[in-house]
Structure 1
Amino acid sequence: MKILYAGLILLLLSVISVFIGVVEISPKSLMHLTENQWNVLLNSRFPRTLSIILAGAALSVAGLLMQQLTRNKFVSPTTAGTMDFAKLGVLVSMIFFTEVHILIKLTMSILAAVIGTLSFMWIVKKIKYKDAIFIPLVGLMLGNIVSSIATFLALRFNVVQSLSNFFVGDFSMITKGRYEVLILIVPMVILVYIFAHHFTIVGMGESFSKNLGISYEKMMHLGVIIAAVVSATVVVTIGILPFLGLIVPNIVAIYAGDHLERAVPYTALLGAIIVMIADIFSRLIIFPYEIPIGLTLGILGSVVFLVILLKRRNSYAS
């Protein structure tokens, strides 16, 4: 029943999203829309709403997967440097392959994200830590180093404007013909659900996985590829959506537990709902203008992250 309620909430928010915009379209006018209104609906409003659902759901599931693989509730595509590496991959393609097709940008971004995520996993495996918060701090430092390299390259090759415009999370530029690549993340989410039991076992440790006949290395590599593909696809089409893969899995874990097979549907729905609410708020706060959703999610995510951090600190202290 909870899944049904979440689905109904998402459906209601999606309907609201479709009717928000500078071009006035109301439910009453659906039967006699002008040609311009039809164009707005088909080429802007529907693609934007679908993109919000896909990006929110997939990025949240990617965060859930990374937390399971690293056995750390503070890890996500944002705090592991995955998105920063994906950003670097796109920047490299923009510098060395001018006027490149979006699929080439996506391929370069995925390769960089895979390399970055594997590097983070290697660091996690090699270092010893006593506090769980140390791991995401390492990821944030790694991401900041990569982001600094990207900024240097952007300054060196005079593409700073393109860098800033390209990577601020924003759905305002999503139109028909620019969002279809997001369909690639649908099979990634399905794979997470299909192999949810395997990923859950892998999250219990290498020796435990081998005792149950699960290939630890193969499942780790599959998880990294899934997280990288999702993160890179979102970065290329929309930009960086901060903290989403961090806060949503933590909220879901409170009610649904840590088993992926149970948590994936809740995580996907809640992620889509949060992004939809943030997008609606971003469009209405200074209507008819809008603020980038990356800013809205950054503020919301940082507040929730601090609350989660303080709660875990208190639980450890007690």
Structure 2
Amino acid sequence: MSLFWRIFGLNALVLGAATALLLWGPVTVSVPVLLTEATMLLGGLAVMLVANAALLRVGLAPVGRLTRLMTRVDLLRPGQRLPVPGHGGFIQLIRTFNAMLDRLEAERATSTARALSAQESERRRIAQELHDEVGQSLTAVLLGLKRAADQAPAPLRDELRQAQEITRESLDEVRRLAHRLRPGVLEDLGLISALTSLTSDFATHTGLEVRRRFDPDLPPLDHERELVLYRVAQESLTNTARHADAERVELALCHTPDTVELRITDDGRGVGGRGIGAIREGAGIRGMRERALLISATLDIESGPRGGTRVTLSVPRGPRPVTGAEPHTRAEREV
């Protein structure tokens, strides 16, 4: 039954009951209208309105549930669906809405995979250019400054050596940026070595205390899952340094029979402050959710057990669904 006929039937039921009471009941209307008659008519009208409102509330309850879901649905948190009742006039509407969410989530996953694949390719290209072009140019400048300092008189030698130090620091910064853009350790030595290098570099540059905890016998993961784990850890640590006002950070990588979990916990402001768990999610957290969606993982941001914020990424160990937008081999990824 369509929505139109459902509402029409409810109103017809109420109006028919009222007509039957008028026809076969002892109600009469005098001219002029008596007070008792007016009271009975107004009371009957009130009963009709209340009955009509109650029937409409019950009949249109699925529309209310659908409206509430539409206001809070988020494609970066997939799986939100309305249960399909076994009877009623809104089954087709609910099924159509659930099918629309399935289609939108699939399209979002495909477009996200393409965007992130293009982003990683661009990062590799920029990192390669920084290493090959800018890095080599700075190295040549550094060698030239060294030769000039060796041959220069004493007053000029100190200035040339100071320029050498500035150039050397710039070269180190270029190498660090290239390493962040393209984590070669991840491809060469694996996820554990990459996370160890990431946290060591983070502790060196921020001065925060970083604790690492890795479960033994971690199961092997494909390159895409390892890359998402690495990028989420990288973004979480960056947000902690920028916003959490923390002193200590713990990075843990553990596994269960079904998942591999990455947990980053800090002792900073927490969910209620301006930390990584703030209610208003920025581009960094949205990017983490998009990466998690790419490999069907779950990202949770909540208060830590002792305050602060905890970011948990749960990566399933089973076969990963193919989106059709990502390369299937290492050679294709490098193109």
TM-score (norm 2): 0.24
Higher helix proportion (structure 1 or 2)? 1
TM-score (norm 1): 0.25
Structure ranking higher on relative contact order (CA contacts 8 Å, 6+ apart) = 1
Larger Rg computed on CA atoms? 2
Higher strand proportion (structure 1 or 2)? 2
